[in-house]
Amino acid sequence: MYTWRNSTLAHEDQTLVRDGLAVEYAPGKVCPRDLSSTPGLRAWLVCPLLPRGAVPATLTAFWIHTGLWPSGRVMRLCAAHPTHSRPPVVHRAELPGEFAVRMGGHAVPSPARTAYDLLAIERPDTAIECVLGLLHSCLGIEELRDQCELEGRRRNAPFVRRCVDGLADYVERTAFRETGRPVGSAGSRADDARRP
């Protein structure tokens, strides 16, 4: 029987994770925190656990890029596979080369493709939380808009486009509030430091 999560962590592992000394990188699998400190190391840990031919998708790809897991969600593996859909595969898809980046010796969806997949597949509240995390760490809003143009024929494309437009407005308002000037205007962080 295929399940998303086989068992809880052992007491010692739970203690290490709770104290911040270890990270659960897959259901029931724990490693020291420093072994998951970069996207390449996280990909190196997770990708060998996926079925042959599968690539990380949605929440797992988000974790690889950011090291974060959405609040209120149980750790699980999420993958995309071109031909089958048994867990941990969450959708059937091939990852074209232009949408992939190499990390830890494995193909991983680009941050823009990860954000698009999250908005198209996951629950909206979880997807928005994750996309904001990607925008904060490794993704620009223009890259996400470009991805929407490339993926315009996919299912849920109109919904994703509306979400991206809303996120772009949010990012612009937030950036204006933090800097006191429109996004893209001249100036530097040093100028911001001098402002009262």
pLDDT at 181: 53
In this prediction, residue 131 carries a pLDDT of 96
Does residue 54 contact residue 80 with C-beta atoms inside 8 Å? yes
pLDDT tens, per residue, the chain with 196 residues: 344 555 578 899 999 999 999 999 988 899 999 999 999 999 999 999 998 889 999 999 999 999 999 988 888 899 998 887 788 888 888 888 889 999 999 999 999 999 999 999 999 999 999 999 999 999 999 999 999 999 988 889 999 999 999 999 998 888 756 665 555 444 444 444 434 4
Q: Which domain holds residue 47?
A: 13-183
Domain presence at residue 175: yes
Structural domain contains residue 81: yes
Q: What are phi and psi of 188, to 5 degrees?
A: -140, 175
Report phi then psi at 143, rounded to 5: -60, -40
Is-contact 80 55, C-beta < 8 A?
Answer: yes
Q: Mind listing the pLDDT tens digit for each residue in 89-99?
A: 888 888 888 89
Whether residue 88 has a cis bond before it, omega within 30° of 0: yes
Question: If you ran DSSP here, which 8-state letter would residue 106 be given?
Answer: E
- Written as one letter, the residue type at 130 is C
The number of folded domains in the chain is 1
- Residue 191's pLDDT is 43
Domain assignment present for residue 196? The answer is no
Position 1 scores a pLDDT of 33
Q: Is residue 83 part of a domain?
A: yes
- Asked whether the beta carbons of 83 and 53 are under 8 A apart, the reply is yes
Run of H or E residues at 196: none
In a domain, 53, yes or no: yes
Q: What is the pLDDT of residue 196?
A: 42
Measured in degrees and rounded to the nearest 5, phi and psi for residue 80 equal: -120, 135
Give the model's pLDDT for residue 193: 42
